[in-house]
Amino acid sequence: MKIKVTSVMVDDQQKALKFYTEILGFVKKKDIPMGEYSWLTVVSSESDEVELLLEPMAFAPAKTFQKALFDAGIPLTAFFVDDIEKECERMQNLGVKFKTLPTKMGPVTIAVFEDTCGNLIQIVQE
């Protein structure tokens, strides 16, 4: 068993695609029209083994869940980086809003930012 696709809930797939590719540096992998929405995935520029589905918020309870996580300050997911200080500086220069700047947490350093699509995302340096 392996993880092939995981997802983040987004309020606008095209806005999410722009943020996740132009700001975070992911690469669009699939864009398959499925009625009102698309099966829209991005992958890391370093590996395309795991796809991140930009999941449209078409299910009302998902909106409630997303807002509750955001309001509580809980990141929806985490991405790993090699140099968190450098990555935070790069992203801040692109206008990304951080809720938590790099903070040492035991064996890792974390930071949390807004993805412009209703989520808090954590980045981690091991």
pLDDT tens sequence across 62-89: 999 999 999 999 999 999 999 999 999 9
The total domain count for the chain is: 2
Give the residue-averaged pLDDT of 29-39.
97
Q: Are residues 76 and 103 in the same domain?
A: yes
Q: Are residues 72 and 48 in the same domain?
A: no
| The pLDDT value given to residue 42 | 98
Q: Alpha-carbon distance 32 to 69, whole Å?
A: 29
| The pLDDT value given to residue 88 | 98
Question: Residue 123's pLDDT band (boundaries 50, 70, 90)?
Answer: very high
Q: Are residues 95 and 40 in the same domain?
A: no
Question: Residue 23's pLDDT band (boundaries 50, 70, 90)?
Answer: very high
Containing structural domain, residue 30 = 1-58
Domain boundary among 9, 34, 58: 58
What does pLDDT average to over the chain? 97
Q: Are residues 52 and 91 in the same domain?
A: no
Q: Are residues 75 and 50 in the same domain?
A: no
Q: Are residues 52 and 86 in the same domain?
A: no
| The pLDDT value given to residue 118 | 96
Q: Are residues 32 and 48 in the same domain?
A: yes
